[in-house]
Chains A and B, each alone.
Chain A
Amino acid sequence: MKDAKFIFVAGSTALILSVILCADVFARELAVIANREYPMNSISVSVVKDIYLGEKTIDGNIKIRPMEQRDEAIRKMFIERVMGSTIDGYKAYWIKKFFQEGIMPPAAKGTSSEMIQAIMKTAGALGYAWIDDVRNEAGIKVLMKMEVGN
């Protein structure tokens, strides 16, 4: 009976630990990316927030052109994990911001590859994508990486 109890507890512990470790192994990385000519080579989360909230629109002498994805999975991850908001909260924020100050919300692009292509062609463009999608892209640079879970 004791042995059975021990085996059950040990087995449960092993199962929980393996789930946690696997989650860590498979946590996806999100990259904040920019056009090659972008004036900065790295960026902090607080600056990304400022850009995607319309508080920072110019860097150096370059107008920043933030872009976001229409793909719900990565968009949700970005808004929740990087921006610290909900999708609806973020949308409501932009309705208010646009009305009050006339500042344009980030331009929406369909997919990672569409966004990457647009960033390559647009001076001051900045966006986000899964790190796997941007590893071999020459026309962009990665400013920040962030593990965002699955």
Chain B
Amino acid sequence: MRRVLQAFIMVITISAQAFSVSHAFEFKGFADTSLTKSTKDADSDRYRNGSFAFGAVDLYFAESLDEVELLSELIVTTTGSINAERLYLGYVFSDQLKLRVGRFHTPLGFWNTSYHHGKQLQPTILRPEALRFEFEGGIFPAHSVGAWVTGRSRTSAGLLEYGIQVANGPKIVLSGSNKVLNPNNTSDNNIGKAVSFNAAICPVMIEDLKVGVSGHFSRVKDDTATPPLMADVNQEIYVAAFTYSPGNVNLAGEYFNIGNRAESDKNYNSSAYFGLITYNLTEKWVPYILYDKMLINESDPYFQTLNTKDVTKTTLGVRYNISYMSSLKGEVRAVKRDNKDWNEFALQWAIAF
């Protein structure tokens, strides 16, 4: 059945591509391949031998029919399965008011909605630690299924972006032997809905600056029935983010505060942040540095269930733009996770098509 579904999705995708040639219909994609080597004291043997890997192939298309819009993004994963990454229908009342219903990238901070699977767009090879995807042991709901009212308005103070979202809250499920977050694609395992908000401004007074705040409130419950750790928390996530590009320098940073209230009414607080500096040496050469950190409260049942540990990571890299559609990136990373230190070396070739 699964193979039939995959074949069906591929046929639809190929048909869509053929259709797009003769119609005002856009079909695009991303792909990447990488080589990563870690030093022998890394906490997993994933990269210890030096590993070539192809990343997910991202296929997305959109259609706009007057006020109605559709966006579909399919991911062909490294295991060969096809996942619906994003799929939404939208109704555009105006630029100031758009309603979208379906599955989205959760608008927490800027990175999650700006880059996601588009490695060619992403300034670095990897996402910051705090923004790992759910299935990779991520700590935030990177995806949401629900309704999202969003808009953009140019005011005398600057360009405002805003949105509010009501969605199924995430749950915790088993993935192999690990417990991971799951966005609850087709149902909700508790009555309370997750609510997110985002607001950002590009002020007129400071060109090329964008600052924003966002939040996510939900109940997250361990759905695995696998003792001993079974988190059931009311979660509040607050994010402050900025990007600033004076001249050839691009600065970006995000700060996350994660508050979890357990059934015992006990509150736990953890935080994470990253800072990124890229410098456009020329149009082709862009060196960068990324520093990211997670400070986890070890008593928090949510993080105990997800087995999340403190991480500090410094990444030095350089990007070479082959063209506007393709780039090579090389990185050296110094990683400290749960009191273990190691280094990683990585190369990535990314393309948009």
The chain A residues found within 8 Å of chain B, CB to CB, are 50, 55-58, 63, 86, 88-89, 91-92, 95-96, 98-100, 102-105, 107
Q: Which residues of B contact A63 (CB under 8 A)?
A: 66-67, 92
Q: Are A100 and B113 in contact (CB under 8 A)?
A: yes
Q: Are A56 and B95 in contact (CB under 8 A)?
A: yes
Q: Which residues of A contact B62 (CB under 8 A)?
A: 98, 102-104
Q: Which residues of A contact B283 (CB under 8 A)?
A: 86, 88
Number of A-B contacts (CB under 8 A): 57
Q: Are B95 and A105 in contact (CB under 8 A)?
A: no
Interface size on B, residues (CB 8 A): 29
Taking CB as reference atom, which chain A residue is nearest B353? A95
Which one of A55, A58, A98 contacts B92 once the chains associate, using CB atoms below 8 Å? Answer: A58
Q: Are A104 and B64 in contact (CB under 8 A)?
A: yes
CB-CB contacts of B1-42 with A at 8 A, as 1s and 0s? 000000000000000000000001010101000000000000
The chain B residues found within 8 Å of chain A, CB to CB, are 24, 26, 28, 30, 60, 62, 64, 66-67, 69-71, 90, 92, 94-95, 113-114, 118, 120-121, 152, 154, 159, 283, 323-325, 352
- Assuming the contacts A96-B114, A107-B24, asked whether A102 and B324 have C-beta atoms less than 8 A apart, the reply is no
Q: Are B28 and A95 in contact (CB under 8 A)?
A: yes
A86–B324 alpha-carbon span in the complex (Å): 11
A63–B69 alpha-carbon span in the complex (Å): 12
Taking CB as reference atom, which chain B residue is nearest A61? B94
Q: Which residues of B contact A107 (CB under 8 A)?
A: 24
Q: Are B26 and A95 in contact (CB under 8 A)?
A: no
Q: Are B159 and A95 in contact (CB under 8 A)?
A: no
Q: Which residues of A contact B154 (CB under 8 A)?
A: 50, 55-56
Taking CB as reference atom, which chain B residue is nearest A88? B324
A91–B28 alpha-carbon span in the complex (Å): 13
- Could you tell me the distance in whole angstroms from the C-beta of A117 to the nearest C-beta in chain B? 16
Which one of B95, B323, B325 contacts A58 once the chains associate, using CB atoms below 8 Å? Answer: B95
Q: Are A55 and B121 in contact (CB under 8 A)?
A: no
A30–B47 alpha-carbon span in the complex (Å): 56
Taking CB as reference atom, which chain A residue is nearest B66? A63
Taking CB as reference atom, which chain A residue is nearest B73? A99
A56–B159 alpha-carbon span in the complex (Å): 11
Taking CB as reference atom, which chain A residue is nearest B71? A102
Q: Which residues of A contact B60 (CB under 8 A)?
A: 99
- Assuming the contacts A99-B28, A104-B24, A104-B62, asked whether A58 and B94 have C-beta atoms less than 8 A apart, the reply is yes
Given contacts A58-B94, A96-B114, A100-B113, 19 further A-B contacts (CB under 8 A): A50-B154, A56-B95, A56-B154, A57-B95, A58-B92, A58-B95, A63-B66, A63-B67, A63-B92, A88-B323, A89-B324, A91-B324, A92-B325, A95-B120, A95-B324, A95-B352, A99-B60, A99-B118, A103-B64
